[in-house]
A and B are shown apart, each in its own frame.
Chain A
Amino acid sequence: MLKDVFIKQPIMRRVVYSLIPIYLFSLYMYGWRLIALSAVVFPLGILTEYLMEKSRGKKVSEAVLVTCTLFVLIVPPAIPLWIAAIGIVFGVFFGKEVYGGFGRNIFNPAISGRIFVWISFPSLFAYGFMVPGGFGTAGEAGVDALSAASPLAMLANGSRPELLDTLLGFTGGSMGETSAVLIILAGIYLVATKTAQWRLIVSTLLGAGALMSAFYYSGLTPNYPPEYGMLSGSILFVSVFMSTDPVSAPNNPRAQWVYGLLIGTISVTIRNLGQFPEGTSFGILMGNVFASLLDEIIPKPAKKKRSKQNVPTGTQTGAKGGTA
C-alpha cells in the first residue's frame, strides 16, 4: 500500500528516527496539542505533495514526512490549527512543489511555511506560547492557550531563564526546539550515520556563537549573554536539522563553511538587533538563497581537476572569498 505512494529514502528515514525522542519529549510537554497539530499537518502536507506529484506521474518523497515533523516542532504550541494548516500547505506547495518537487527546491519547505505563518500572524508571538510540562496540563487546568514567555522573550525583557532548564528543555518556546540535550544527541546520531554534514552544523553554531559573543562583550546587546542565547530559541534546532538539509545546502565543503557562518550570523543579527524575536528562519532562507551561488563561486578543494571556464574570478565572498 504505502509503497505505491512513497519513494523510499533511507536518509530521510534516519532524520525522522532522530526526531522521535524530541517528538516524544514535546508530547510530554504539550500533550494533546502536539497530537492535534500532527493530525492536521501530516495529512495536509502529504496530500499537497501527492496532488502535485500525481500530475507529474511521480510518487511522494519521504522527505515530506521530515518536513511535516520539523514543521510541527518549530511552530508555537498554541498555534490555531487552521494557521498550522495554511503554514504546511504553503511550505510544501510554494517552498517545494512549485520548483519541481523533491531535490529541486531552493528553500527549505518547513522553514518557508514557518516564516509565512510568522509574518502573516505576528500576534502568535504574543499568545502562541504555553506553559510546558505534564502533557500540556502544567498551565492552569482547563485553560489551554495560557500564554507563557519564551526564553527569548525573557531575554529581550532583560530577565534570565534558568540555564539548566534551557539545557534540558523545560522552558516555553516552539514545540520541539527547547531541549538542547535531545537536539545535540540527535545531531550526534545524524553525523555518526553520515546523514548530516558535520561542517554545516559546526559552522552555523560557530557563526552564531561568535557574533553573539561579539555583540555581548562589545556591549551592543547586553540582554543576550551568548550561553543563554545559544541555548534559547531555535539556533541549535536549526543548525542540526535545517542548515543540514541536503537539498537546499551547498555540496562543496568550503561553500558549506561559508553557508553555515552566513546562517549563524544572519540569524543572530536579526534576533538581537531586529524587530523579530527570533531570526533563525530568516537566516536559513538567506543561506538557501546563496547556497547554489556559493557552490558556484567558491573553488572546490583540489581533489578533482575540473576546470570550469565560466567561474567568475575575483568575486568577493566575505571571509572565504577567493578566486577560481
Chain B
Amino acid sequence: MNKQSLPYTVVFSFIVCFAFVFLLSLTHQATREQVQLNQQLRLQRSVLSALAIDYQDDQEVLRLFDDIETVERDGMTLYRIDRDDEVLYARIFAGSGVWGTINGVVGVDQDISRTVALEIIDHNETPGLGGRVDEPEFKRQFLDKPLDDGKIDVVREGDTEGVDGRIDAITGATGTSKAIETILNREFERLRDALRGEV
C-alpha cells in the first residue's frame, strides 16, 4: 500500500487519534472519583481548619465534616457548626492581594465578635514576604481573636497580643497585610448583614 497516499493518511490519522483518545478516556474514567474526592477533601480540610477543628487523616476529615452543616444566607454559602453552646460559621473568601487573588476560609462566631481561625487556600504573594500569610505564625494570630468594633486592624508595630482586633503585620509585606485586613473586614461586614436576626 502507498503510505503517502491521501486515503491512507486519513485512515491512519483517524485510527491513531481514536486509539489514544480512547485510552485516555479510560484512564480519566478510572481516576475521576479519586480526583473529585481530592478536591472535596481539600475544601473540607480548609473549612475544618477555619473552625479550629483538628484532624489526623483523610478519613477523619470526612467524618468530622459530617457534623458541619452547609447553609445559604443572602446567596453566600456558609459552613455552620454547633459547638460548646454556640454557633460558629466559616466562610470561603477571595480578594486581591499584592500580586493576585488570595483565597481562604475564615471562621467566626455567630455575632461576629471574634474570629475562630483563619486558613489560606492559595495565594500568589512574594515568597518569603507576603507569602508568609500562609505560615502558622501569621495564621495563629486569628485563633479566637476578639474583634474590635467588628473589625481587625493590621498594625506594623505595638502590642497585638491580648489587644482586641489587633493583628501583627507581616514584616516587610505591608501590602499583603493591608490586603488581608481589607478582605477580612469586608467579609465580616457581609457576614454581619447575612446573619442579622439569627441570634
Distance in Å: Cβ of B20 to nearest Cβ of chain A: 45
Complex Cα–Cα for A125 and B171 (A) = 9
Confirm or deny: B172 has a beta carbon within 8 angstroms of a beta carbon on chain A.
yes
Distance in Å: Cβ of A223 to nearest Cβ of chain B: 12
Distance in Å: Cβ of A3 to nearest Cβ of chain B: 46
Confirm or deny: B126 has a beta carbon within 8 angstroms of a beta carbon on chain A.
yes
**Interface residues of A, count at CB 8 A:** 7
Q: Are B156 and A275 in contact (CB under 8 A)?
A: no
Q: Are B156 and A157 in contact (CB under 8 A)?
A: yes
Q: Are A123 and B172 in contact (CB under 8 A)?
A: yes
Q: Are A275 and B171 in contact (CB under 8 A)?
A: no
How would residues 128 to 160 of chain B score, 1 for a CB under 8 Å from any chain A CB and 0 otherwise? 111000000000000000000000000010000
Complex Cα–Cα for A122 and B131 (A) = 12
A126 contacts which chain B residues (CB < 8 A)? 171-172
Taking residues whose C-beta sits less than 8 angstroms from the other chain, chain B's interface range is 10 to 19
The residue in chain B whose Cβ has the minimal distance to the Cβ of A122 is B172
Confirm or deny: B52 has a beta carbon within 8 angstroms of a beta carbon on chain A.
no
B156 contacts which chain A residues (CB < 8 A)? 157
A122 contacts which chain B residues (CB < 8 A)? 128-129, 172
B98 contacts which chain A residues (CB < 8 A)? 275
B128 contacts which chain A residues (CB < 8 A)? 122
Given contacts A122-B128, A122-B129, A275-B126, 4 further A-B pairs with CB under 8 A are: A156-B174, A275-B130, A275-B173, A275-B174
Binding site for B on A (CB under 8 A): 122-123, 125-126, 156-157, 275
16 A-B pairs with CB atoms under 8 Å apart are A122-B128, A122-B129, A123-B171, A123-B172, A125-B171, A125-B172, A126-B171, A126-B172, A156-B174, A157-B156, A275-B98, A275-B126, A275-B130, A275-B173, A275-B174, A275-B175
